[in-house]
Amino acid sequence: MENNFVKKIELAAEYIGQRISQSPELLLILGSGLGDVTNEISKEAEISYKEIPEFPFSTAPSHAGNLVSGNFNGRPVLVMQGRLHLYEGWKANEIAFPIRVAKNLGVRKMIVTNAAGALSTSLEPGSVMMLTDHINFTGHNPLIGTHDDELGLRFPDMSDVYDKKIQGIVSQCFKNAGIKLSKGIYAGITGPSLETSAERRFLRESGADAVGMSTIMEVIAAKQAGFEIAGLSAITNKADGGPEQQPDTIEEVLEYAGVAGKKIKSILPGLLQAWT
C-alpha cells in the first residue's frame, strides 16, 4: 500500500480523535435497516462521513453515513451508521478505509451486521443468522496492491475469520434473550441487481446459506488488522431460487431488516458485557 494511503488513514484518524475523548474498543457496522441502534448509545460525537478528511461516504438507501462515538452499555464504541458498497462505485480498499482508521484509533473488535437474502429454505425473513464463514464471490479484495506492513499481514489467514470463541458468546447471548439464532455461511456479491434464480441456486449449491452485497471487504481488512470479528445477518427475503421464488422489493427488504434488527439490538448490551 502506498505511503500516501497510510497518511490518509492517519489524517482521518487524527480528525476523529480530536472529536472523541476515549479510545473506542469496538467497531459496530450497521447494515440496511439497522441504523436506529445508535439510539441506544450515549453519544459523545456524531460525525458525517463527508466531514472526515479522505473518508468515503454512503449513498445507499437507509444508510445515514454518520460515524457515532460514545458509550454502549459502559463500553466505548465507534459505530458506522451506514456502510460503503462496491455497487456504489467504491473500490475495495476504499471500503476497507474506515476499518483501518478504526484500527488507528485503537479498535480491536468488530461486530458487522448486514441485510441478506435466504438461500437456505430453513431461514425465514425477519430472523437472524450468525456468520460462521463467508464466500467471496465479488472478484475483489481490499488487500490487492502495494502492501504496507502498518496495515497488518500481507497474507492473513482466513480459515477462522469469525472466531469460534466469539461465536459461542454470541450464541449464548441469543439463548439468554430467548431469541432464535441460525448459523450459516454468507455469500458476498457486488450487486446492486438482485440475483437471478439460477444464481441463487448456484450460490446455495456452492455451500452458502445467505447472500448479500456487503461485509466481505470489511471483514478481510479487519482480519488483516488483527480484529476479533462477529458477523450477524438480518434475513430479509426468501432467495432460494426455487419454482416458488417471488419478486423482491427494497421496501420489503428494509421492513424485514427492521424486524431482525430489533432482535440484534436487544442482544448487543449482553454481548458487549460478555465480550471482554
- pLDDT one-digit tens code per residue, 149-190: 989 999 999 999 999 999 999 999 999 999 999 999 999 999
CA atoms of 83 and 57, how far apart (whole Å): 8
pLDDT bracket for residue 62 (50, 70, 90): low
3-state secondary structure at position 39: helix
Please state whether the peptide bond connecting residue 192 to the residue before it is cis, i.e. omega within 30 degrees of 0: yes
| pLDDT of 204 higher than 80 | yes
CA atoms of 198 and 240, how far apart (whole Å): 9
At the top level of CATH, which class does the domain 3-274 belong to? alpha beta
| pLDDT of 63 higher than 60 | no
Q: Average of pLDDT values for 222-231?
A: 97
For the record, the C-alpha cell of 156 comes out as 492473513
Q: Structural domain boundaries of the chain? A: 3-274
- Provide the pLDDT for residue 232: 97
CA atoms of 253 and 52, how far apart (whole Å): 30
| pLDDT of 225 higher than 90 | yes
Amino acid at 151: L
Amino acid at 126: G
Chain centroid, CA 165 distance in Å = 19
Q: Average of pLDDT values for 187-204?
A: 96
| Of 18-32, 47-61, 223-237, highest mean pLDDT | 223-237
Amino acid at 99: I
Instruction: Render the burial of 68-80: b for 16+ CB within 10 Å, e for the rest.
Output: bbbebeebbbbbb
Instruction: Render the burial of 164-185: b for 16+ CB within 10 Å, e for the rest.
Output: eebbebbeebbeeeebebbebb
CA atoms of 113 and 235, how far apart (whole Å): 11
Question: What residues does 123 pair with on adjacent strands?
Answer: none
Chain centroid, CA 104 distance in Å = 18
CA atoms of 91 and 84, how far apart (whole Å): 9
Q: How far is CA 173 from CA 60, 73, 141, 143, 181, in A?
A: 30, 14, 32, 33, 10
